[in-house]
Amino acid sequence: MLVQFTVENFLSLRDKVYLSLEPSRDKNHSENLITKGEYKSVNTVTIYGANASGKSSLFKAITVALNMIRNSNNVQITDELPVVPFKLDFKSHNKPTSFEFTFVAGDEKKYIYGFSATKERIIEEYLYCYNTSKPTLIFDVIENEEPKFNRLYKVKLDAAYQMNTSNKLFLATATTWNVECTKVPFEWLAKSIDTFTEVQELSNVAFDRYQTDESKEYIDFTRELLKQADINISSIELDAKEGKRNDVEITTGHTVVAENGEEKVFSLTLQEESMGTQLLFYYGPLLRDAFEKGKTIILDEIDKSMHPSIVKFIINLFRDSQVNKNGAQLIVTTHETGILSLDMFRRDQIYFTEKDAKSGVTDLYSLDEFSVRKTENIEKGYLMGRYGAIPFLRAGEVL
């Protein structure tokens, strides 16, 4: 369960910003809260903002941080790290980029893990665990300083530290060397949170799940998903090419009733379906894994090629305790304002990004920072610019 993500000095996010899923004092919509152990979090977050305001920069930051953690053991000593600092002032060029995750892992303990890096090396890295109400240090490693290790694990942590290199993350190295105190948080970061910013990436993951799904559970889930979304597909057939990964031919069956009342089934390839239907087909395995395993899923532009009712349908799946039994979370960027309502969300579930026109710096903030009445029309207020995060269009000739 993700509790908070922070980033500083990455793309347009020059100053530190906080994406918090920890509930505020808002008492509304208890159905939008999930619990892991003694901790609570919201199950959905929507992020609004004008084009080029920094929404995708936030998601890219999460993606880059996770990929650095997951791929750290494959990094060669000569490899550059994929951090991209803010480039619109000279001061930021030479500053490290910082990422931090606060989360509740499989042992139902809360962890804080973060690191700072340049393209050449890791500057600082730390891990804390909440065994009580206060965080307990597991390790804190700072460049050119003596590392700090939890005394119970100091021998093993120190041994792993000797095997680490300047451009590798110590969390991954320690886990590889079987240090018990790093295994649980590493596994959560490696397996329990996924980001998808490109359709191609999403489709590759979906095809892989379908191709290896001998029990047909993913197809059954997707068929029911399409049915609930009122899409007229009565059957889905997969022809997986043996030995060829992601080489799957998919056909959908459409039952049509003729004028004489006779039913006939006609087949289409997946490519002949609408883009919205294709996206739902790709979302199927992703959503099933989220609900089965209690994962955190991050989707950029969920409303792309998708009807507003389908967007609302997907979000409501995460708000339904009968479907979302294991505390899955959904974080999305969207321009769809039809769901922007306090009838559906708490104030702490709605975020905005706004880029300063003079500095090019993105700010991230939530609706909870505004004084908003329970009966207020949030959609109207947003479109009128009350909360910022909308484009300011200038009338006049384009050329």
pLDDT digits (tens, 9 = 90+) for 117-137: 999 999 999 999 999 889 999
In the numeric block, the tokens 């307990």 are attached to: 136
Q: What is the pLDDT of residue 396?
A: 55
Model-level pTM? 0.92
User: What is the longest distance spanned by two Cα atoms in the chain?
Assistant: 83
For residues 389 and 52, give the distance between their C-alpha atoms in angstroms, rounded to a whole number: 11
For the chain, where are the alpha helices, taking DSSP H only?
Answer: 55-71, 90-93, 154-163, 170-176, 180-191, 199-211, 217-228, 275-293, 308-319, 378-383
- Rounded to the nearest 10 degrees, how much is the dihedral formed by the CA atoms of 47, 53, 56, 60? -120
Over residues 250-294, the pLDDT tens digits come to 898 888 888 888 888 888 988 888 888 888 899 999 999 999 999
The answer to whether residues 7 and 16 touch, using CB atoms and an 8 Å cutoff, is yes
389-393 long-range contacts, CB within 8 A, separation 24+? 389/48, 389/49, 389/50, 389/53, 389/352, 389/353, 389/354, 390/50, 391/50, 391/51
Over residues 148-204, the pLDDT tens digits come to 999 999 999 999 999 999 999 999 999 999 999 999 999 999 999 999 877 778 888
- Token readout for 270 is 């997946």
Average predicted confidence (pLDDT) for the chain: 91
Q: What is the pLDDT of residue 243?
A: 56
